[in-house]
Amino acid sequence: MKGKYIAVKLKIWALPIMVLALSTVFALPVLKAEKADANAIKTVYFTFDDGPSAVTEEILDILKREGIKATFFVIGPSGEKTDERLYRIAAEGHSIGLHSMSHDYDKIYAFADAFIWDLEYERSWIYSVTGIECNIFRFPGGSDNAVLDKWLIDEIKEKAEEKGFIWYDWNADGKDSLGTLLSAEQIAENVLSSDAVAAGGDVIVLMHDSSTRKTAPEALEILIEEFRAMGYGFGKLG
């Protein structure tokens, strides 16, 4: 890999990296990530995995009202309104990222090329709906998880780079992917108590907008208010 990746692809002129606790999955946005407030000295990037769903529509309503752009790492079609919701994400100026067609670990992580093929298949679907050719993605489970061997992740990263893909993890986790439905307050507290927020730099927030994550919209409202009070601007990846 020649040291080209630390959670996302970094150039030598990227911002200095602060060392976070090992328990935190660390990521910095590439420099072309869009900041909504050029005067803000630090930026929060809201990212949502596993949609789109009816929950996505609620989240989009909030983002539109607040004038904020976010990033949606979507999975493949699920239900008749998927394309409509995907198109709305794009039409309202948010970033769309790849998160696999199925989120089925046995299929997408069978071998490195299986993962790349899946990304390309999903990119074709998204392009057919939105006219956007996505080049950012997030590993289902993150790039550092207990399910996968490191050698497989490293091989996928190399092949993804060759194809022009850029991958993102996160450094502030709402921890709302578990089976138990967390309250909006708990999701917000999980994010705000992260090492990334304590460090005072840019923050990439992981939340989920699948149909079962019904408290995510309220958590987003809490976080927007809290981050604004701390002087953060908002941006999207891509």
pLDDT, residue 25, reads 41
Question: Does the bond joining 52 to the residue before it have cis omega, within 30 degrees of 0?
Answer: yes
Give per-residue pLDDT as tens, 47-58.
Answer: 999 999 999 999
For 117, the token pair is 């093929």
Residues 27, 143: Cα–Cα separation, whole Å: 11
Whether the CB-CB separation of 46 and 56 falls below 8 Å is answered with no
Give per-residue pLDDT as tens, 211-231.
Answer: 999 999 999 999 999 999 999
Identify whether 16 is part of a domain.
no
Identify whether 45 is part of a domain.
yes
Mean pLDDT of 196-224: 97
pLDDT, residue 36, reads 56
Identify whether 142 is part of a domain.
yes
Domain span at 143: 37-236
For 68, the token pair is 């904020």
Identify whether 14 is part of a domain.
no
Identify whether 181 is part of a domain.
yes
114 pLDDT band, cuts 50/70/90, is very high
Identify whether 3 is part of a domain.
no
Give per-residue pLDDT as tens, 7-24.
Answer: 333 332 333 333 333 333
Residues 5, 13: Cα–Cα separation, whole Å: 13
Mean pLDDT of 143-157: 93
pLDDT, residue 217, reads 98
- Mean pLDDT across the chain, nearest whole number? 87
Identify whether 150 is part of a domain.
yes
Whether the CB-CB separation of 191 and 205 falls below 8 Å is answered with yes
32 pLDDT band, cuts 50/70/90, is very low
33 pLDDT band, cuts 50/70/90, is low
> Residues with Cβ < 8 Å from 134, sequence gap 6 or more?
96, 97, 98, 122, 123, 126, 127
pLDDT, residue 38, reads 61
Give the residue, 179 or 165, on which the prediction is more confident: 165
Whether the CB-CB separation of 78 and 125 falls below 8 Å is answered with no
pLDDT, residue 8, reads 34
Identify whether 13 is part of a domain.
no
Please, where are the H alpha helices in 72-215? Answer: 82-91, 105-108, 112-130, 150-162, 184-192, 195-199
What CATH number does the domain containing 196 carry? 3.20.20.370
Residue 158 has pLDDT above 60, yes or no: yes
Rg of the chain in Å (alpha carbons): 17
The total domain count for the chain is 1
Whether the CB-CB separation of 110 and 67 falls below 8 Å is answered with no
